[in-house]
Chains A and B, each alone.
Chain A
């Protein structure tokens, strides 16, 4: 294990930024998001939840996929280059870090999404452990250890010192590049922090939420539950919960005529929207109840059924703090389970 004083942390950022693009939680216009590092940026490693999750680094809100020109019966396709430069995402919390493995199950299974794959190959994740969870956090419900996040490098911040430990080959390579700034140390401070944080996690209010009934639950029973009626009613059908969610993964593809050819691009989509999966015959979810149910059924039933029981939620709690009418996945879980 290595360490560096938080007073020198800017030097570490600069050193990384010299050879890699570096993304950090940075405050701009009063809110914190993962932005590219620049000198004088207001880095906020203390913030648990950026408004959007770290998913942007691998699945940007919008990206061009290809260009083509049509002349008569001839179509000329121009590929868009895939990302091929290493980049570092620093300050990823355990919940967001786990979301990558959920996204992998979708984007890296056959047929592989090469845009995503390229970014995953090039991205180095420097995760940061939590020591002051929010009341909205429930990562522990998904066996995520906030004190030991998944990442190429894991860091802990305690008493003005950042502790650093490489976990993978990529992480070791990054460590070597900044080795001159790091100092070897023992794990005593980190162990203390972990123990203290675990005590707090045990006291988090959402511990009491019963999720057992969902494990292996019958899909159609959940689908047909009468309780959706009471749950969806006040939903505004905005996309806030989907856009702030680290595991929401749906996108829309559109062709745009630039006048000089066609650009095919994709962007995030939300199952809460009326035109989600709109087809020539119309949409297959005509009511907000159906759209609302889709979001939660996907995370709590369809995804686990297809992925060895793994839920499509990491318990980051963003949807709890951001929904305009305070509806969220924990209320759905509690209500469907009857523990309400």
Chain B
């Protein structure tokens, strides 16, 4: 990772110096090595605390909505912004362009490689706490803690979403940091395996599963605010005139409704970037709702990956004569 950081910082400085871009959304080191924050760097900033390590999981594409907005009346015109896209982020980037939410002309996209990002909570779940330092060393990760040093396999710390990695190819970029990045050796799991497990449950079991998860929701909106598909100017849940606006969940129904509405709204637009589940303070597996939709759409309308390109219409916004009839839902075992 350290070599990649070197390479990356040099590339960024080059692009800033030659005027391709005037700022970059980068990564700023924190106190604990895992608390990396997205931050804007310009030419005059020191890059000493610029970081690129396994904890740079956050998908930065959504920041481009704000960053590429036309300037306000008294604001100066801004130049291009450099964004660092991991392969999975590039799908969200495309999807946002497709939905006219970001101005492609104002962005220079640099594809950065990923070998799977890390999740510090996995360490905590192993009972490792008091974490003072984490160093990636090939296949291993060395952890310094208040209570002694530990060594764990890197693959055991991989973010869940990276276990279902879409691959190391970027679908959008102006330039690649490492043009021939190799596919990383991953411990892949089929991304629909968990959905299938849920499908095989009885309706009651499935309801119980979702209640046990959704009842934890504190309605902090982290899932919504981080989601690149949730880019409405005013969310229906924030719109006082919508009749469903609420700041907290008052009961079970609201807990369920918020998530069901959200899942429907991002259906066909969700790229399965996994940010919702990554940020949820309650670790609710929200991605399973979205994946159920993806799986159903794939089965009903043919395979589709949101964000694959910037033109193809999504299965729920395109009409074709070969579209499945609603009755197929019943034949697949849905309740009438």
Which positions in A face B, CB cutoff 8 Å? 28-31, 33, 51-52, 61-62, 132-136, 200, 203-206, 230, 233-234, 236-240, 242-244, 252, 265, 267-270, 273-275, 278, 320, 322, 324-328, 330-331
Contacts and interface: CB of A to CB of B under 8 A. Distances in A.
A124 to B, nearest CB: 25
Contacts of B224: 238
A330 B35 CA distance: 11
A33 B226 contact: no
Contacts of A243: 218-220, 281
A198 B212 CA distance: 38
Sort A-B residue pairs by CB-CB distance and give the 10 closest, nearest first. A324-B279, A326-B35, A236-B225, A238-B222, A234-B38, A240-B220, A267-B248, A29-B212, A238-B225, A322-B281
Given A29-B212, A238-B226, A51 B281 contact: yes
B141 interface: no
Contact of B247 (A203, A204, A273, A324): A273
Interface string B103-122: 00000000000000000000
Contacts of B215: 28-29
B218 A236 contact: no
A66 to B, nearest CB: 16
Interface stretch (B87-95, B124-132, B289-297): B124-132
B240 interface: yes
Contacts of B249: 61-62
B58 interface: yes
Nearest to A269: B247
B216 A31 contact: yes
Contact of B218 (A52, A234, A324, A328): A52
B68 interface: no
Nearest to A328: B35
Give chain B's interface secondary structure class.
loop
Interface in B233-259: 238, 240, 246-250
B325 to A, nearest CB: 37
B140 to A, nearest CB: 21
Give chain A's interface secondary structure class.
loop
Nearest to B120: A321
A36 B295 CA distance: 38
B57 to A, nearest CB: 10
A205 B31 contact: yes
B318 interface: no
B330 interface: no
Interface string B31-43: 1101111111000
A51 B282 contact: yes
Contacts of B305: none
Interface residues of B, number: 44
A147 to B, nearest CB: 15
A132 B240 CA distance: 45
Given A238-B220, A240-B220, A233 B40 contact: yes
Contacts of A205: 31-32, 132
B248 A268 contact: yes
A265 B250 contact: yes
30 contacts: A29-B213, A52-B218, A61-B249, A132-B130, A132-B147, A135-B145, A136-B32, A200-B146, A205-B31, A233-B38, A233-B39, A234-B38, A234-B39, A236-B225, A238-B221, A238-B225, A244-B281, A265-B250, A267-B246, A267-B250, A268-B248, A270-B247, A275-B238, A278-B240, A324-B58, A324-B222, A324-B278, A325-B37, A326-B34, A330-B31
A29 B63 CA distance: 32
A272 B238 CA distance: 13
B129 A326 contact: no
B188 interface: no
A132 to B, nearest CB: 7
Which of B39, B147, B248 has the most chain A CB atoms inside 10 A of its CB? Answer: B248
B79 interface: no
Interface string B204-229: 00000000110110111110111000
A270 B240 CA distance: 16
A134 B123 CA distance: 13
Contacts of B281: 51, 240, 243-244, 322
Nearest to A242: B220
A133 B145 CA distance: 11
B129 A29 contact: no
